[in-house]
Amino acid sequence: MAADGKLLELIGQVYDCAIEPARWPDTLQQVTEYLGGSAAAISLQDPLKREARLLAQWAIKPDFEKAMMAGLNINPLISMGWFVEVDEPFSGEKALGRESYLKSRFYNEIISPGGYYDAALTVLAKSVNRFGSLSVPSENPIDDGMLQRLRDITPHVRRAVSIADLLDARALQSDMLSATFDLLTIGIVLTDAKARIVHANSVAQKYLDARSAIRRDGDTLSCRDPRTATELALAIQNASDGSTAAFPRSGIALPITTIDGIDLAAWVLPLDSGLRNQLATSFAASAAVFLRQLGDVSPFPGELFVKRYGISPAECRVLMMLTQGMTVREAAVALGITEPTAKTHLQKLFQRTGTDRQADLMRLAMSALAPASG
């Protein structure tokens, strides 16, 4: 119970960050201590442009941050967002395998000199050509217990970011956390205890205007199906009357049937602790309803490319190094694998993509992985 109580208290602090971004460093310190790490950072990464930006952090050493940014070209984990699901934690060692990880240039030139052994990581959000992530470096190997604790807290970090994006709180700067995640497929509606709509983001507004699944009855959020409308209203009331501690960590989930057969998934979460107190004054909101099409994973070009051709993470790591102009030998050294292994991955890439030469493979990759404009 003590551990559960600490987690629930931490979840409340995470949601408070939604409207007070200045709380992120202190909250990330609590996240770090809960997970058993050494530091924490929320960052935005573009694996195609090899660019990254630190959006919020605690205890990240300036020299380490500088080395990480300078070493993005040899970071074998930067494309992992194409292979892992949102909220699913992983570590460098588990993703690459212990031997390859410890032999990689990334570990030997950046991670180890920075005073760390590895990091627990999770993807928070994916947009057209980039993804946001939470990383918790550690001086020790990442065990399953740490990954499970990260799995428990990650959905709440993601939702706090989504709420902040909706509210566009005055404390947020244009280049801050939530504004840059661009979660274009998630509809978010804030309501009071009686399901009266306080605010809806643009995606939710489209759902409301379509009236095929959810709708606006006067100023109240409702559903096309009467039974689902009753269930949604009850969920909102329970969220408003209760607290984070009394709620399932994933919220109350509801399937919402649409006229066109593309069903929505909705989940309801309470806005309480400091978050509710602040919202009550200016927004009068007590519950958040998140909406998304079932089966919508919002892939971006790299994810579509690797899924289309069935490319494995190991093969993708070799490909990413080759697209930067590295030779097969240089890619092998960078990734901590043997040159024959790298050549095997290259041959598999030829087979999967229907190409015969490295130049043709590079042209295909650079064309398919070209980031969307804007």
Residue 21 has pLDDT above 90, yes or no: no
Lowest mean pLDDT among 276-280, 305-309, 339-343, 354-358: 276-280
Classified as helix, coil or strand, 299 is: coil
| Distance from C-alpha of 6 to C-alpha of 11, rounded to nearest angstrom | 9
Final residue belonging to a domain, choices 140, 167, 194: 167
Distance CA(174)–CA(372), nearest Å, equals 21
**10-24, 75-89, 136-150: least confidently modelled range:** 10-24
Surface-to-core class of residue 336, CB atoms within 10 Å of its CB (0-12 exposed, 13-18 middle, 19+ buried): buried
Q: Could you tell me the two tokens for 4?
A: 């559960």
- Last residue of a domain, which of 237, 271, 293? 293
226 assigned to some structural domain: yes
Q: Is residue 264 part of a domain?
A: yes
What is the pLDDT, as a whole number, of residue 185?
57
Q: Is residue 40 part of a domain?
A: yes
Per-residue pLDDT, averaged over 178-202, amounts to: 70
Total domain count for the chain? 3
Indicate if 55 and 154 belong to the same structural domain: yes
| Residue 113 confidence class, pLDDT cut points 50, 70, 90 | very high
Indicate if 43 and 74 belong to the same structural domain: yes
Task: Identify the weakest region by mean pLDDT among 3-17, 135-149, 254-268.
Answer: 254-268
Instruction: Give the largest Cα separation in the chain, rounded.
Output: 67
Q: What is the mean pLDDT of residues 174-202?
A: 66
Instruction: Indicate whether 71 and 101 sit together in one domain.
Output: yes
Q: pLDDT confidence of 47, banded at 50, 70, 90?
A: confident
Do both 10 and 132 map to the same domain?
yes
317 and 279 in a common domain: no
CATH number at residue 223: 3.30.450.20
d(CA 256, CA 253): 10
C-alpha–C-alpha distance, residues 131 and 181, integer Å: 7
Whole-number Å distance between alpha carbons of 205 and 189:
9
Q: Express as a percent the part of the chain with pLDDT over 90.
A: 44
**159 plus 17 within the same structural domain:** yes
Q: In what order do the strands lie in the sheet with 252-256?
A: 197-200, 187-191, 287-293, 264-270, 252-256
Tokens 């605010």 -> residue: 199
Report whether pLDDT(276) > 50.
no
Contact 198, 191 (CB under 8 A): yes
Q: Specify if 176 maps to a domain.
A: no
Rounded to 5°, angle at Cα 333 from 331 and 338:
95
For 344-359, give one letter per residue: b (16+ CB within 10 A) or e: ebbebbeebbebeeee
Q: Which is nearest to 107 in space by CA: 326, 341, 336?
A: 336
Report how far residue 90's alpha carbon sits from residue 151's, in angstroms, rounded to the nearest whole number: 10
Residue 148, domain CATH: 3.30.450.80
- What pLDDT is recorded for position 368? 67
Q: From 119, 122, 121, select the one nearest 86 (Cα to Cα).
A: 122
**pTM for this entry:** 0.69
| Same domain (yes/no): 149, 25 | yes
- Ranges of beta strands (E only) in the chain are 40-46, 51-58, 90-91, 118-126, 131-138, 187-191, 197-200, 214-217, 220-223, 252-256, 264-270, 287-293
327 compared with 272, residue with greater pLDDT: 327
Q: For the residues 340-357, what does the mean pLDDT come to? A: 95
Residue 373 lies in a domain: no
The pair of structure tokens assigned to 284 is: 């009068």
Mean pLDDT on 114-141: 89
Asked if 329 and 350 sit in the same domain, the reply is: yes
- Give the least confident one: 89-103, 194-208, 327-341: 194-208
Rounded to the nearest 5 degrees, what angle is found at the Cα of 88, between the Cα atoms of 272 and 374?
85
User: Regarding beta strands 287-293 and 51-58, do their DSSP bridges make them parallel or antiparallel, or are they unpaired?
Assistant: unpaired
Q: Rounded mean pLDDT of the chain?
A: 82
Q: Which of 293, 320, 344 is the C-terminal boundary of a domain?
A: 293
Looking at residue 48, its pLDDT comes to 82
pLDDT band at 64 (very low <50, low <70, confident <90, very high): very high
Region 175-201: mean pLDDT is 66
Q: Are residues 268 and 289 in the same domain?
A: yes
Q: Which domain holds residue 161?
A: 2-167
| Model confidence at 39: pLDDT above 70 | yes
Is pLDDT at 127 greater than 80 in this prediction? no
What is the structure's pLDDT at 22?
84
148 with 205, same domain? no
In a domain, 329, yes or no: yes
Highest mean pLDDT among 49-58, 166-175, 214-223, 276-285: 214-223
Dist. CA 211–CA 201, nearest whole Å: 16
Instruction: Let me know whether 278 and 345 are in one domain.
Output: no
Residues 291-345: tens digit of each pLDDT: 877 654 444 467 768 887 889 999 999 999 998 889 999 999 999 999 999 999 9
Q: Considering the domain boundaries, does residue 108 fall inside one? A: yes
For residue 3, the model assigns a pLDDT of: 57
Which of these, 151, 201, 134, 167, lies nearest to 276 by C-alpha position? 167
Would 342 be classed as within a structural domain?
yes
Does residue 36 share a domain with residue 17? yes
Identify the pLDDT of residue 180.
Answer: 35
In whole angstroms, what is the distance from residue 374 CA to residue 372 CA?
6
Best-predicted range by mean pLDDT (258-272, 279-293, 317-331) = 317-331
**Tell me, what's the pLDDT at 313?**
95
